[in-house]
Structure 1
Amino acid sequence: MLRLTPLRFTSSIHRPLTFLAHRSPRRPFSLTPHHQAPRFRPSSSEPPHVLTPTEAASLVTTLRSRSVHEPLERVSYTIPLVFGTLVCTGAFITAGIIYDRNQQTVWQRWLADNNIGWRWLRGDPQAPRPTMGELWQEKRRLLLEKRQQWMDSVVATLGKWQQVYGLPEALRRMALITAGKWASMSESERTLFGLIAINVVVFGAWQVPRWTPFMSRWFLHHPGSNRPLTLITSCFSHKEGLHLACNMVGLWSFGGLVHDYLGREQFLALYLSTGVGANMVSHAVSLAMRRSRPLLPSLGASGAIYGLLSSTAFLQPQASVSLIFLPFFPIKLGYALPAMMGFDVAGILLKWRMFDHYAHLAGASIGLGYMAYGQQHLWQPLVKNIHDIRSKKSST
């Protein structure tokens, strides 16, 4: 996650700053005194005070500190943190509901394909149960059928457009090639492509000058803004092309393995929760330290990407990765992750402000914690409870 530095106020070094007394405004000639705006009468015994460079720098620092800290006295921790917690909880509950519904569809398909659904309806204890491999194969067949149906609908729609609207043959072929490429992509590739597309669209919006005020208000998280929605939107926001490219390369590189391990529903819930959770930690720490350091706005998907990196390192610590600043020296993830987290610790200790180091560390910690304990203590009990509630409703 990238920090945006505040504007710096500079003055010319060729002339010292001079503070003079208040001058009277212009008025018509009159013999009567002007009491509202008395004339300035310079005194030879009191020359104007000239600030030294040290005094000028001290004054600018004091004014900058007041402008940063004084309006934030009424800032509350509660609303953004409660909002972020509700978002993360809602993401996992929604993912669990969708996952259970999809599993029910796969289960029913397996029963129908094996012609043993009637035995389950009769409550036969000897009825065979599917293995995870059989359910996975059934899910794959279901996905292939849906893709074929989608391709058939695309072909029919393009043919209709060609007949009714005169769609050129070259455009029709290009659309068919694009649709075929999309249909041939795996589920994880589709998910990652969708996330990348969202980030690219938001990046494009940043490049429109007239939209900058809106983007700065709703896609840039500032700890003192009292706009908790930006905890979410800033996770998909990038203003610089290099920042976007680095994060999207990381998303494509580390997201596939985690997606295949968790499944689409759980992966999306973890991705969103990691990004929002990293922003929550950064938000709380920034407010707690606002007396000693200025509050800076932040944006970017780095917190979520760090979560994917740590998750991949947990699953395959022996896999190699090439760091951006060391592209020709592949490093095992088991060593690369501690090195990158150590870099962020150094950034905190040395007070570097270019990156949001607290968000990076929080994202990596959330990813490691979830891969170690989340499946067993969070996801599985959640899905079981959702399934039990659905079963009770269907039985009644």
Structure 2
Amino acid sequence: MLSSIRYFSQSSIHRFPRLSRNVASRIPTFRERVAAAKPFKQFKASIPQPSIRNQILFTLCASSALFVYAANQTNQDTYLWLVVARERGKALFRIQPSNSDLHTLKKNKLVKDAQAAYDNLMTRLQSWPLRLRHDASWLYVQIAQPILNANEGKRVAWGLVGLSSVTWLLWKWPRAMPFMRKSFCHNPLSGRSYTLLTSMFSHQSFMHLAFNSLALSACGSTVVLYLAQPEGRGLWKGGLPEADTSWHVLAFFVSAGLFASLVSHTANAKWVFPRVIKASTAASTAPRTTATLVADTKAASRKVASVIRPSLGISGAVYAGMVLTALAYPQAVANLVFLPIFPIPIQWAVGACVAFDIYGLIRGLQFFDHYAHLGGALFGALYYLYGREGWDWLRVFLMVLDGHIKPQNLKKDEPKP
């Protein structure tokens, strides 16, 4: 060892004095290393819990904007048809036109527009062979006549069914599959909010689309009867005039679907997700090292993805319509699609559906989105209790803002067209 020192002369030691001091100063002490060490990452922190704040804000803002727009459009249509009715008042009405009179005038206008469209179509097809013109005329009548015969609620339901049919066709296009999975399925783990709305009109299976379409059409026919403004109901004498209920029905169904999706999202984020993480933590007995943390995180992520799956469909809105119908018309009956000869009371049918969803939650069934179904049922019950009064208040509030009525004497004033 002593002989090895002879290879270093005194001059070589003083040749790099500053470098030696810098190197020595950059070597941290043991205490500094311990202080700079980061705490070990916990297992639960490695998988972030889904948020619900943005989804709640999106649902509140979208539903509020939709109801305000629907109420404003209803008021504008009512003003328009009040003007038409009063212009014809001397010949048709000897008193103030009622809501049924306004609905009749609007339906007559719809029939005239359909007849004008038919005449225009036949004029354009004059150069076609007689057989083709006859087929075109028959097809037009087959499409237009059911629309004219249906009430406003069923027409709104058919519009939603048509939109859902378009998204179903997009699911069958292979090139659109990545876009559809991202934008038309609501996954609580994705953090997206707008899919609460787009997933309502998305159906990947034809049977799913068919059952929801039949149920939505049936609910639309009855929901509009309850939501329509009856004579004498309102914040002033004579009731609140209303020429069109379709905007109210549209706001009801879309808001019900949004609320049902939000309930499903919240339940998965605040109830299902912590249970899965807790079970994964309890199942892992290996010591916490970086390797075991990575392995446990991957296993827990796969477990969460298998339990919390993307949801789609308009079933939440259907449940809201069914519950509202059962509460408003308890004497009504329901016919099952596969057993049409056995009508059962609608309250029994709706109660059985709700009981099945509760059983599905208890048993952990995952074929249906039971949280969304129960959320839609809750929305229908709440709307039965408070919906029509809130709708009347919103319409009157917008009328006051527009200057059509005076707020100090609502019971005596009538809307000015």
**Shorter-normalised TM range:** 0.7 to 0.9
**Which residue type is aligned with residue 78 of structure 2?**
Q
Say whether 1:355 aligns with 2:368. yes
Which structure features the higher share of helix residues? 2
User: Aligned with 1:198: secondary structure?
Assistant: helix
Q: State the match for 1:282 in structure 2.
A: 264
TM-score between both structures, scaled by the size of structure 1: 0.72
Q: State the match for 1:316 in structure 2.
A: 329
| Aligned counterparts, 1:207-226, within 5 A | 207-226=172-191
* C-alpha distance 345-314 of structure 1, shift in aligned 2 (>3 A): same
User: Aligned with 1:76: secondary structure?
Assistant: coil
User: Aligned with 2:348: secondary structure?
Assistant: helix
**Equivalent residues of 2:156, 2:220 under 8 A apart:** no
Say whether 1:292 aligns with 2:275. yes
> How many aligned positions are there?
312
CA apart distance, 1:292? 2.1
Higher CA-based Rg = 2
User: Aligned with 1:317: secondary structure?
Assistant: coil
* C-alpha distance 242-392 of structure 1, shift in aligned 2 (>3 A): closer
CA apart distance, 1:205? 1.1
Deviations along 1:253-281, one digit per CA (max 9) or x if unpaired, are: 22211123322111110000000000001
Distance 1:268 1:345 in 2: 28
**Equivalent residues of 2:333, 2:343 under 8 A apart:** yes
* C-alpha distance 178-191 of structure 1, shift in aligned 2 (>3 A): farther
Deviations along 1:47-66, one digit per CA (max 9) or x if unpaired, are: xxxxxxxxxxxxxxxxxxx9
Say whether 1:380 aligns with 2:362. no
CA apart distance, 1:392? 6.0
Identity of aligned residues (%): 28
CA apart distance, 1:115? 4.0
* C-alpha distance 322-70 of structure 1, shift in aligned 2 (>3 A): farther
Q: State the match for 1:155 in structure 2.
A: 119
Select 2:150's aligned residue among 186, 190, 196. 186
**Equivalent residues of 1:72, 1:224 under 8 A apart:** no
Distance 1:328 1:382 in 2: 43
Distance 1:342 1:253 in 2: 21
Say whether 1:243 aligns with 2:208. yes
**Equivalent residues of 2:260, 2:372 under 8 A apart:** yes
**Equivalent residues of 2:199, 2:311 under 8 A apart:** yes
TM-score between both structures, scaled by the size of structure 2: 0.69
Structure 2 gap ranges (5+): 1-42, 228-244, 277-303, 406-414
User: Aligned with 1:300: secondary structure?
Assistant: coil
Structure 1 gap ranges (5+): 1-65, 117-127
Distance 1:233 1:352 in 2: 24
**Equivalent residues of 2:263, 2:375 under 8 A apart:** yes
* C-alpha distance 368-223 of structure 1, shift in aligned 2 (>3 A): same
* C-alpha distance 150-326 of structure 1, shift in aligned 2 (>3 A): closer
**Equivalent residues of 2:156, 2:249 under 8 A apart:** no
**Which residue type is aligned with residue 341 of structure 1?**
V
| Aligned counterparts, 1:167-182, within 5 A | 167-181=128-142, 182=144
**Which residue type is aligned with residue 372 of structure 2?**
A
CA RMSD of aligned residues (A): 2.7
Select 2:314's aligned residue among 301, 309, 314. 301
| Aligned counterparts, 1:1-396, within 5 A | 73=48, 75-115=50-90, 130=96, 132=98, 135-160=99-124, 162=125, 166-181=127-142, 182-183=144-145, 184-188=148-152, 189-262=154-227, 263-288=245-270, 289-293=272-276, 294=304, 295-323=308-336, 329-376=342-389, 378-391=390-403
User: Aligned with 2:344: secondary structure?
Assistant: strand
* C-alpha distance 168-86 of structure 1, shift in aligned 2 (>3 A): farther
Distance 1:227 1:169 in 2: 55
* C-alpha distance 326-292 of structure 1, shift in aligned 2 (>3 A): farther
